[in-house]
Amino acid sequence: MCGVVGIVASQAVNQEIFDALTVLQHRGQDAAGMMTCNDRKFSLRKGNGLVRDVFRTRHMRRLTGNMGIGHVRYPTAGSSSESEAQPFYVNSPFGIALAHNGNLTNTTQLQSELFKDDLRHINTGSDSEVILNVFAHELQQACASHLNLTPEAVFKAVSGVHKRCRGGYAVVAVIAGHGVVAFRDSFGIRPLILGQRDGGAHPEVMVASESAALTALGFQIIDDVGAGEAIFIKTNGEIVRKVCSSTASLSPCLFEFVYFARPDSIIDKISVYKVRKNLGKHVAEKIIKTWPDHDIDVVIPIPETSRNAAIPLANRLGVELREGFVKNRYIGRTFIMPGQATRRKAVHQKLSVIELEFKNKNVLLIDDSIVRGTTSKEIINMARSAGANKVYFASSAPPIRFPNIYGIDMPCKDELVAHNHSIEEIEKMIDADKLIYLDLDDLVSVAKEGNQSIKQFESAVFDGIYLTGDETDYLNQVAKARGENKENNDDFDTVIDYI
């Protein structure tokens, strides 16, 4: 999962992009990058690390221009090397820089096509470089008969991208001297939102992965970028929009609302905060229905994303809500951990317990989700060590039983604790006295409350239904690649632990 931003303004945009990326830092902590454009000249800075570490004053001074794009990276394809930090750049046609959130499922096929048919060289393992070259080729074909770049040519190029690229993707690109392009995959799996504010010579326009980045910078929300839609923002702030996919059907990712997005964001007109609050209510209703004689003394959230659900959960059950864990805010989200011992150590580095809230109590811990189960088990053991009589565990998401192929790095089913295991088996595996999962129907209904026009969500991690229908080939390729990497590196183990 990554975060992207693109801005066209009447003044320098480097500080604005920096600030927006800081707001989106939760979406990726592996690398950060920014490309600005001054007339027709690009300036680039990117590298591994957090936004605050990648960009120094000397870099910011060189990032000149009134339009640009930015990216924070969490790697799902390729590697964590600095060469794969974004944005990427090609000089033809016009000069294009691009950043991308999501994951292509037919990258291998596209790499072959780009080399054999389009005569384009791919220098990294990143699917973002692939989608850039596909877009560049399609744009060159659309502009073959003239030198002027028109919105119609841009939209024709994006249509070509949709025909060739499969998967989930939200893209921002800056075209030297012309403007910023933003588009979303045909299902709208990955989020992208458009905003505007008053500028000097002309209105200033911004697109970003989440609305929180817009509002933090004083932009007013205009609309979400639609499924299959492209938006061309000219250098004068004029916005031109068009749906470029004949199969567009909005199906946003449910896991954005469960975990990834900030609670103060609105995605596809759905409040993330409101969803998480209501998830807590539904977990409580399930406990009341299936376990009416519960002996829960206290509800304790596992920081941070489960706190929104914990408050209404405790209120509905009529028990106290307590803060039993203290989080070290200076350690980022633990997306990738090389091995079991490191994962266990990371839990203790990030969380410490307040024994007073556990001692001699029956505790219900609530987390946003359970992926591998390693983190959950370690936290339960911490609660027992702090003196809890019984430790119950609730997830405000349904069981995660299937791999994700659209931008979340959990592509191996054998790594998922809920895959092919019953609730009772998972209870024993994570050492819980009782385990409560939210039902998928409840998650879907809560999300739909915010936007009744959405008929379907991308929910493959819960139900195994993949919208693009090409999961088998992709997962076989991933399994093969991981097997080869393990042979060459005993420490290779890219799995997610959510804390």
368 is in an annotated binding site: yes
305 is in an annotated binding site: yes
Give the active site residue among 2, 165, 244, 253.
2
Q: What residues have CB less than 8 Å from 310, skipping those under 6 apart?
A: 280, 299, 300, 301, 321, 366
Q: Which two tokens stand for residue 367?
A: 């987390």
Whole-number Cα distances in Å, 293 to 67, 113, 210, 287, 289: 60, 62, 41, 9, 10
Task: Name, in order, each residue with C-beta under 8 angstroms of 163's C-beta and a sequence gap of 6 or more.
Answer: none
Phi, psi of 211, rounded to the nearest 5 degrees: -65, -25
Residue 415 · residue 402 · CB < 8 Å: no
The set of long-range contacts for 255-259, using a CB threshold of 8 Å and a minimum separation of 24, is 255/369, 255/397, 255/404, 255/408, 255/461, 256/191, 257/447, 258/305, 258/368, 258/369, 258/396, 258/397, 258/443, 259/305, 259/368, 259/369, 259/397, 259/498
Q: Which helix (H) or strand (E) holds 38?
A: strand 31-38
Cis, bond preceding 87 (omega within 30 deg of 0) = yes
Q: Are 167 and 468 in contact (CB under 8 A)?
A: yes
278: left (phi over 0), alpha (psi -120 to 50) or beta: alpha
Q: What are 362's strand-pairing partners?
A: 390
**Which tokens is 333 given?**
């989200």
Name the nearest CA neighbour of 181 among 198, 147, 156, 216.
Answer: 156
Establish whether 143 is a catalytic residue.
Answer: no
The annotation status of 367 as a binding-site residue, yes or no, is: yes
Q: In whole angstroms, what separates CA 456 from the centre of its chain?
A: 19
Structure-token match 């050492």, residue found: 431
What is the C-alpha separation between 143 and 149, in angstroms, rounded?
7
Known catalytic residues are 2
| Residues that constitute the known binding site | 305, 367-368
| Residues that constitute the known binding site for Mg(2+) | 305, 367-368
